[in-house]
Structure 1
């Protein structure tokens, strides 16, 4: 199925409903939730998924697992998606929070085949076998670290979301503490308690996540300068340490057939 609203087929008695959807550039799917779990794969472009607990950046050739009944929003940056909507009872192993995973060639081809199914596809033969194999392949995926947590406190969450939207390497702990009317020491202690990281470590990781969508249209050199790194080499080293792959892999020139 392609460009079909989930609500129109959610009632269909299939554990896995594959739907492909094309979105205009910069499209925002505002806050919503699904009864089913969702496997959201960006066949093109970059996705940024927000929940109350964190932000997940989904580079090209990756996907995000979204638990059932999880309120979320998705920013689509040049994305054509291939989604699976899955009955929760069929996937008791589904993670309890969002997880970004790799999409190797077999899984990608299964997804591309599945979105051509009708809603009431045959459970026997090829189509049912593909649906079953999709779940086996997804279960075998390992989490990737394209994520930062968002604090539960409203004031800290507002600081973090604003920073993700416009990361500034010059921001200091003292500035953030002043915005929350607390001492730098008290602010740092509270921030670490809610995120597990110091504010400086959190901001460094947030800048690296923000680099992923920037790399769609800018060079490694341009992005490293925008994010306040001393050199492209320093940015490349930090990015590779955090995500296990160099930033050049996500530039227009670095993408291609896998």
Structure 2
């Protein structure tokens, strides 16, 4: 096992250097690669009892990483809070900043009692599933336009042994949205990257993750398309009075929080939550 991990770590470190990684020293990079190698070996040996098959599997995984494929896709899973979620391209990989605020929200909702929650743009289902895992009495509906997302969210709910409903819904279809009924709380991690910034994203993101799950621009190139849509929908019966401390909780991109709060101001008072990396990451509409 150790020689296999060492080989994988050396290969990964060489691959990172070849990719001209500039955000770490070679020593730091090697330490990171050693950790990633352990994960790759563990994943390979879990699937293949035969050492030769496991070695071939690790080599294949390293080659995928060298081609810039995100490690989460190579491993097939991604931690999210206490959960281990399945991930596969092109469904967006859950990010640490999303994990951070979802855990914080779950804690704030513990004393609110049973709630009906709508998770828009659910992707892998990470937000809805973590809330359902924490708040066992909560009624959760997770929706997305992409059938691949709906299928993966349902698969992850079964994997994590939580009960959520999943449905394919177009956020921009008035009839479909209003047919969902009223909710105590809406949560959403929408596409919010301006289209002009898309080409600046890392190659691994552009090559493997869904562009439509990332870019939130249309006529206005500011990434705020989905927040404007929420402003249209919220006063039209999507929310109901409840014991929830928040009516809406949305993730926003770096530098967008003030603009999003201004959009929601006519509906009610808002709070901003900072992530551990110093960005105002969430705008929450208070009940």
Q: TM-score, normalised by structure 2?
A: 0.27
The structure with higher relative contact order (CA 8 Å, sep 6+) is 1
Structure with the greater alpha carbon radius of gyration = 2
Higher helix residue share: 2
Higher strand residue share: 1
